[in-house]
Structure 1
Amino acid sequence: MRSTRKLMTLMTVVILILLFSSIWILKFGLNLPTDQNAVILLNEEGWWLVLVGVLATFVSVASLFLEVRSSTPLAFVGWAFYLPTLFNVLVPMFVVFFSIVGIFYTPWLAFIDLPSANRLINGVITIHDEGAKLAVDYIGYLLFLSGLAIYMISLYQLLSHTAKQHQLFIGGLYKFVRHPQYFGIILWTLGFAIIGWRLINYMMWVFLSYSYVLLAENEEIDLVKAYGSRYESYRESVPSMIPFPFSIAFKPFGRRLSSFRLKAVSYTLFFLVLAAVLYLWLDRYIVLYR
Structure 2
Amino acid sequence: MTSASSDYGMWGLVVLNSVIFIGFAFSFFKPVNLRDWRSFGAYSAFIVALFAEMYGFPLTIYLLSGWLGSRFPGVNLFGHDAGHLWWLVTGQDGNPHFGALHLLSFAFLLAGFTLLSKAWHVLYHAQRRHQLATAGPYRYVRHPQYIGFVAIMFGFLLQWPTLLTLVMFPVLMLMYVRLAIAEERDSEKAFGDAWRQYAATTPRFIPRFGKAGRARAVRSR
- TM-score range (shorter-chain normalised) is 0.5 to 0.7
Report the alpha carbon displacement of residue 54 of structure 1 after superposing the two structures with TM: 2.3
Change (3 A) 1:181 1:209: same
Aligned to 1:67: 33
Q: SS state of the match for residue 34, structure 2?
A: coil
2:121 maps to: 156
Q: Is the contact made by 1:54 and 1:86 (CA closer than 8 Å) also made in structure 2? A: no
What is aligned with 2:21?
A: 53
Partners of 1:153 and 1:79 lie apart in 2 by 18
Output the CA distance in 2 between the equivalents of 1:240 and 1:44.
39
Normalised by the size of structure 1, how large is the TM-score? 0.52
Q: Which of 192, 198, 201 is matched with 2:156 structurally? A: 192
Return structure 1 stretches of 4+ with deviation > 6 angstroms. Answer: 37-40, 43-48
The answer for the alignment partner of 2:91 in structure 1 is 128
Structure 2 SS opposite 1:244: coil
Query: C-alpha separation between the residues in 2 aligned to 1:178 and 1:47?
Result: 33
Partners of 1:137 and 1:44 lie apart in 2 by: 23
Partner of 1:226: 190
Cα pair distance change 1:67/1:84, threshold 3 Å:
closer
2:51 counterpart of 1:118? no
**Counterpart Cα distance in 1 of 2:9 and 2:191:** 54
Unaligned runs of 5+ in 2: 66-77, 213-221
Determine the structure 2 residue equivalent to 1:147: 112
**Structure 2 length normalisation: TM-score?**
0.67
When residues 234 and 131 of structure 1 are mapped into structure 2, their CA distance, relative to the original with a 3 A threshold, is: farther
CA shift in 2, pair 1:39/1:203, >3 Å: closer
Shift of 1:47: 8.8
Query: Displacement, 1:91?
Result: 2.3
Aligned to 1:87: 51
Aligned residue pairs total: 185
Corresponding position: 1:177 with 2:120: no
Aligned counterparts of 2:142 and 2:28: Cα–Cα separation in 1 = 17
Give the CA deviation at 1:80.
5.9
Cα pair distance change 1:169/1:209, threshold 3 Å: same
Q: Which secondary structure does the structure 2 equivalent of 1:91 belong to? A: helix
